[in-house]
Every structure is written in structure tokens, then in C-alpha cells.
Structure 1
Amino acid sequence: MLSTLDHYPTRLDRPSAPIPRIEPTVWGEPVHGPLDQAALNSFAEQGYLVRPQTVGEDWLPALSRELERVGADVDDADPRVIREPNGAVRSVFEPHLLSDLIAQVVALDTVLPVARQLLGSDVYIHQARINFMPGFTGTGFYWHSDFETWHAEDGMPAMRAASCSIALTDNFSYNGSLMVMPGSHRTFYPCVGATPENNHSKSLVRQELGVPDRAVLTAAAERFGINQFTGPAGTALWFDCNLMHGSGSNITPFPRSNIFLVFNSVENALTEPFAAQRPRPEFLAARQIRPVGASVPAD
């Protein structure tokens, strides 16, 4: 039976010391997938890995058109659509259920086997979305660890999830590309402040709760440094669920968009939230475990 012991308490009423990670970062071996030992070692040490040509050039035109279609076709009342304060679409969740083409990306040989290898098991989609960062007006994402939110608000018990961000536009150092603190995934930073009701309705636009304070972020940046993900369209950035990351706003004319896939191990099923009154909606945190490629849910 899955333990619900809280190894990573957060959303506290006062600051608390950082907590060393207890789980491994890499759960599989070279024989379990396409990553060799050097790549696995790099992911374990740095908490992220860049994989060029995850999506081939022949896919990019169709995927770009599909993102435009999905963004244009969404119903304003659909809660899966997150908008900027100016009304522009910021994110659309569950795109793999809205688009057969995006569903095919999830199952690519350059995607699914990597997720299974990193997590050492069958996997399912915990969360998926497409992100739009238009030129001139695209806003960034503040520094955070995804696991802090997934643990506190979704009930993810252990650090056994990984994200794959597939760039569909060129990522430059100046158009709001993702920044990461390499090695920060080995430390959990508890955050201060109780989770309000329906916190996700605000946090998906601007995250203010569940982020370390400036002193903690300064110390982390001084300890780990900051790297930035750049690369041509089709490149994937894989990163551990607890890696500290964020992005600045895009004031350039060059838009940035990506498909963002979160894979969770089937052995890391969600429990009740550790620091919220009730779970977030299914489109943010899947509770039905359906291993990718399987026709029926897992028991």
C-alpha cells in the first residue's frame, strides 16, 4: 500500500530549513532506454538534459499549425484555457486529448522511452499543456519547483516525475527561454503560506504562493548557478520534477511556444493533497492512471 507519509512538508506558517532529497533522480539503467550512461549521469547530477531533434523538422510545420488551431478553437468558458491579463491565451491544458497530432508526440520513440527510462517504470501523463509566449507581450514564470505544487496541491508523494518541454519555436537567450538552477533538484525548499481555496485559478497566471523567498532563491542561485535552455525548434528539455526553474518575459518580436508533458511513474500515484483542502482538477493533475500506450487504466 502506498505510504502517505509526508517527507516534504511545505506551505508552512514559518520558514523551515531545506530538506535533502531522499529519492534517486534516475530510476532506470542504460539497457532500459535510449539514454547512455553518460546522459543518465548528467541528468542525475544536473537535474536536466537537452535532447536535440526530439521532434523532426518534418513535424514542425504541422505542429505549429495545430497549436494555432487549438489556441483559436478553445471555448472561453473552458477551464483548461489560461489567459494572460490582456486576454491572450497563455496555456491550454490537456492538448493530447484535444489533438491527435499532439497525442502522437507523446508516444514518439524520442519521447516515451526516455520517460520510462528516467522513471524506471511505465508512465502516465500527470499533466500536459501547450504554452504560448508571444512576441512583445509574453510574460514569464517565476522561480519554482514543480514538485512543491504537485506535492502540496495534488498529493504527489515522491519525486518520481519528469517533464519534457518540446520547443516548437527557436529558443534564444533573449525571448523568455527557460532558466534552471543545475543541481537544485537534490534539495527541497519548503515554502511559507497556507494554500487558499482554488489557488490554481490565480497561480496558473502568476505564481506567488509555493515559491521560495528572495533570500532562499539568492542562496540557491549562488550555490548552483543558473543555466539557460536555448536551441532550435524540435529540441526537448527534460528536467526533474524538483528542479528550480523559471523564465523571464518576452519583449522581443520572436514568439516562443512549446508542448509541455509531465510524466509520472505509475508507482507514484497521487494521494490526498499534503497542503491543500481538496485536489486540483483532473486536467491539472490526473488521478486516473492510464499508462501511455495502454487501453485500460491501471489498477
Structure 2
Amino acid sequence: MWGAASNGPLDDSELETHSTNGYLVRPGTVGGDWLSVLRDELSCLDADADPSDPRIIREPGGTIRSVFEPHRFSEVIGEVITLDTVLPVARQLLGSDVYIHQARVNMMPGFTGTGFYWHSDFETWHAEDGMPAMRAVSCSIALTENFPYNGSLMVMPGSHRTFYPCIGATPQNNHASSLIKQEIGVPDQATLTEAAARYGINQVTGPAGTALWFDSNVMHGSGSNITPFPRSNIFLVFNSVDNQLVAPYRAQAPRPSYLATRNSELNSFPTLTT
């Protein structure tokens, strides 16, 4: 956490929570009038999806799992990034101007939605994208209610203070399979057992419109959804403009730009004022 209470909408208590736990929950980030529009927009993305578009990631059964760069498909989703409850928070947490490193919508349908195994995002962003430092933050905005039983995210509070390196070389084009099931760049069971014993596990639940802000290095994951209740969210990764990508540290080539915005493609947001 790089900013101070004087730099944005978060007060000292919220900043301390994020600094201590590596995450912060903010209900009401997106209001009810926005939620219905955004859910309709997701339905349109699903209906209009081009089967050959690599930005559309599908479950083994064919249902859509994720759509990358949704802000380039949808002006409405693009507007969410610049909401007063979103962009200023990212700038405050990172203590600088920011840009979108990655954006996607995740759709976990009822009965068949598969989870995301335990991982730290920074492991991939550093090794495969060339992100120099842990000066990035993720914002996951719930478009449906997150119950304890429909695959809501689990985090290990405080784990952002420890980097758990993963063994093994990164295969060429690893992203092609890891977006469906990640097997490279994830901790082994002994590491996860130690981390869970040290930090514990919290589950993040809450109504639609709630935002979860979490550090790039916090350990997190989710289970599958075998309930009738679908779960969907907008997932935004903000990176500091002072932390722009370089050559990958542990990969033969960078991942595609829809997974990791390179320096020449920085977003243009209103200039930060202090």
C-alpha cells in the first residue's frame, strides 16, 4: 500500500485493513442502477461472442468462463473503470497514476462453474509479463451475490507479505492452457498447507455491487460452483505507471496484450491531481 488517507476516498482504517490483510471489501461500489445494465451487457457479450476470439475463454463444456478486455467490447464496462468509487481508490492504494494491466469479466455458471486454484497473481505477472514490483492491485466487482456456497473467493489474509516462489520453467504459450486450468506458477501442497496454517483462510461474500480490492501478491483461489446460483464479476487490475512492464523474467516471450498491457498501450485516464 503506497498512498495515504489524504490521497483519496479511503480513510485510515480502510488503508490499515488493506495494508494488514492484503485486501479490502467495499460494499456499494456499483449501485443497483448500474448492476442491471451491466448484467444485461454480460448477456450481450455471451450472445455475441466470436468462437475464434482468443479473448473468450470457455469451460470444457463450452460455456464462457472469462472475457478479456471487456472495456474494449463495451463502453458501459469501460465507464465502470472511471467511477469515483473505483479509479480514485486504485490511485490511492498505489500512490500514483495508474493504467489497466488486465481487465476481464468472469462468469461462473450454476452447477458447472469451475474454480480457480490457489495462486498469487504476481507470480505470473512477474515471470510471464515482466512486472518489476508488487505495485499493482486488483478490483473484483460482484455483479451477483457472493454466497459462501457458490464459489466465492477465498484469501489468506496477510499472505501478501510473503512471496512463495513456484518451481519449474514456464512452458511456451503457457497462457493458452493456464486460463482454463492453471498448473504452472501455482504453489505445491506443502507450501499451501504452511501458508494456511500461518495466515488462515477468509471467504469473501456479499451482495452484488461489492468490490474486493486485493494486493497483487495475496494468496487466493475459489472453489467450483455446484449450486443453482451463478456468480459473475468484473475484474480490473490496476498497475502503477511507475511499475510498467519490462521483458518477462521467466518466460520466452510476453503474453498477449489482452492479458498484459504493454508500455506502448497505456490507458488514458484523467490526470491525477494532488
What range is the shorter-chain TM-score in? over 0.9
Partner of 1:254: 229
Q: Does 1:111 align with 2:86?
A: yes
Check conservation: 1:116, 1:123, Cα contact below 8 A.
Answer: yes
Q: Does 1:293 align with 2:269?
A: yes
Q: Which has the higher helix share?
A: 2
Q: 1:243 aligns with which of 210, 213, 218?
A: 218
Provide, for residues 37-56 of structure 1, a one-character-per-residue CA deviation record: whole Å limited to 9, x for no partner. 11101100000000000000
Partner of 1:274: 249
Partner of 1:43: 18
**CA distance in 2 between partners of 1:246 and 1:72 (Å):** 28
Provide, for residues 160-200 of structure 1, a one-character-per-residue CA deviation record: whole Å limited to 9, x for no partner. 00000000000000000000000000010010111111000
Partner of 2:104: 129
Check conservation: 1:143, 1:244, Cα contact below 8 A.
Answer: yes
**CA distance in 1 between partners of 2:267 and 2:96 (Å):** 10
Provide, for residues 244-278 of structure 1, a one-character-per-residue CA deviation record: whole Å limited to 9, x for no partner. 00000000000000000000000000000000000
Q: Following TM superposition, by how much is the alpha carbon of 1:294 offset from its aligned partner in structure 2, in angstroms?
A: 4.8
**CA distance in 1 between partners of 2:65 and 2:265 (Å):** 27
- Superposition RMSD in Å: 0.9
TM-score (norm 1): 0.89
**CA distance in 1 between partners of 2:2 and 2:185 (Å):** 27
Q: Following TM superposition, by how much is the alpha carbon of 1:290 offset from its aligned partner in structure 2, in angstroms?
A: 2.4
**CA distance in 2 between partners of 1:157 and 1:72 (Å):** 38
Relative to structure 1, the CA distance from residue 275 to residue 156 in structure 2 (aligned partners, 3 Å threshold; closer, same or farther) is same
SS of the equivalent of 2:243 reads: coil
SS of the equivalent of 1:271 reads: coil
Segments of structure 1 that go 5 or more residues without pairing to the other structure are 1-25
- Within a 5 Å distance, the mapping from 1:9-88 to structure 2 comes to 26-88=1-63
**CA distance in 1 between partners of 2:265 and 2:3 (Å):** 20
Percentage of identical aligned residues: 71
Provide, for residues 215-255 of structure 1, a one-character-per-residue CA deviation record: whole Å limited to 9, x for no partner. 00000000000000100000000000000000000000000
Q: Following TM superposition, by how much is the alpha carbon of 1:71 offset from its aligned partner in structure 2, in angstroms?
A: 1.8
Q: How many residues align?
A: 270
SS of the equivalent of 1:137 reads: coil
Q: Does 1:231 align with 2:203?
A: no
Relative to structure 1, the CA distance from residue 111 to residue 292 in structure 2 (aligned partners, 3 Å threshold; closer, same or farther) is farther
Check conservation: 1:124, 1:289, Cα contact below 8 A.
Answer: no
Q: Does 1:169 align with 2:152?
A: no
- Within a 5 Å distance, the mapping from 1:213-228 to structure 2 comes to 213-228=188-203
Partner of 2:129: 154
Check conservation: 1:177, 1:248, Cα contact below 8 A.
Answer: yes
Amino acid at match of 2:39: S
**CA distance in 2 between partners of 1:265 and 1:101 (Å):** 24
**CA distance in 2 between partners of 1:193 and 1:157 (Å):** 20
Partner of 2:179: 204
Provide, for residues 47-93 of structure 1, a one-character-per-residue CA deviation record: whole Å limited to 9, x for no partner. 00000000001111111000110122121110100000111110000
Q: Following TM superposition, by how much is the alpha carbon of 1:293 offset from its aligned partner in structure 2, in angstroms?
A: 1.5
SS of the equivalent of 1:92 reads: strand
Check conservation: 1:153, 1:275, Cα contact below 8 A.
Answer: yes
Partner of 2:170: 195
Amino acid at match of 1:94: E
Runs of 4+ in 1 over 2 A off after TM superposition: 288-292
Partner of 2:118: 143
**CA distance in 1 between partners of 2:257 and 2:195 (Å):** 32
**CA distance in 1 between partners of 2:268 and 2:10 (Å):** 19
